[in-house]
Amino acid sequence: MIGQMRHIGIVTNPAKDPGFVVTKQLSAYLQQRGLTVSEQVLDRTGGSEATVAEGIRRLRDAVDLIVVLGGDGTLLGTARRVAGRGAPIFGVNLGRLGFLTEAEQHEMYPALDDVLAGRYFIDERVMLDVALRRAGKVESERLAVNEAVVGKGPFARMIEVEVYVDGQHFATYPSDGLIVATPTGSTAYSLSAGGPVVHPNLDVLVVTPICPHTLYARAVAVSARSEIRILVVGQHEQTMLTVDGQEGEQLRPGDEILVRAAAVTTKLVRRLGWSFYDVLRRKFHEAGLRGEN
């Protein structure tokens, strides 16, 4: 409620808001309502990734609500950096196709009025903890909102991926790679690879092979309490681990990827009456009209 939300953070994707026109208008609007506003640009051109990440961390520790101006990609990048903190995210779609954002640009102000008046709820989404283990030690660890992907490089041949669930060998896929997606990520890369659409409230993770070279391979839903271990078999050049299509690193022979539900969640602000099925129907309809796939 407005009595509780006194300090608002704005995270902007400058590619979606040239000249920061929308950002400036929103900042003025909020300040006219007596709120304090802090702004952060989600952009690497003006500084290093470490600088951007530190700016987001400072913002998350100081505000009661974070308004993200951009699209799903901007929201994903912000969500990974603010996970585990109290400030929820209100996404405004300035892009083409947003499943995660709460409002389109034309409805931003009445939607924010609802939120500031207390007419909202928090939609908590499962995140992934993605650990890269090399030579028996954890080399790196990342959070993901949508998915973790092990994939071949642009000129590499098909790779072979072994998948273990809770220590039990599940399958070996000769393929272009493998996706482990959250329910939130089921409408992203996993869907394009033939995976199912999963309601965000379901307690599952989706394992989807990418272009598998076999007729029997299908996407499989496993318990979100399971640990998934991925091993690339053989010597493959340019094999990559990526999270949310935004962060990643090259894999080496013998590397293992461990994926499990994270201890933290992404907190999204939703107006009362929000429905996943309404969003799904609307976005699929829009994509069909544009000829997207």
Q: With a cut of 50, list the residues of the chain below it in pLDDT.
A: 1-3, 45-46, 293
Number of domains the chain is built from: 2
Question: Do the domain assignments include residue 2?
Answer: no
d(CA 267, CA 68): 13
The residue type found at 103 is A
Q: Please check whether residues 260 and 278 belong to one and the same domain.
A: no
CATH label of the domain that carries residue 207:
2.60.200.30
Question: Do the domain assignments include residue 19?
Answer: yes
pLDDT of amino acid 43: 63
Asked whether the beta carbons of 64 and 89 are under 8 A apart, the reply is no
Question: Do the domain assignments include residue 219?
Answer: yes
pLDDT of amino acid 58: 78
The pTM of the full predicted model, rounded to 2 decimals, is 0.91
Question: Do the domain assignments include residue 1?
Answer: no
d(CA 58, CA 244): 23
Query: In angstroms, what CA-CA distances link 11 with 71, 89, 106, 144, 240?
Result: 11, 10, 18, 19, 29
Domain that holds residue 206: 127-264
Catalytically annotated residues: 72
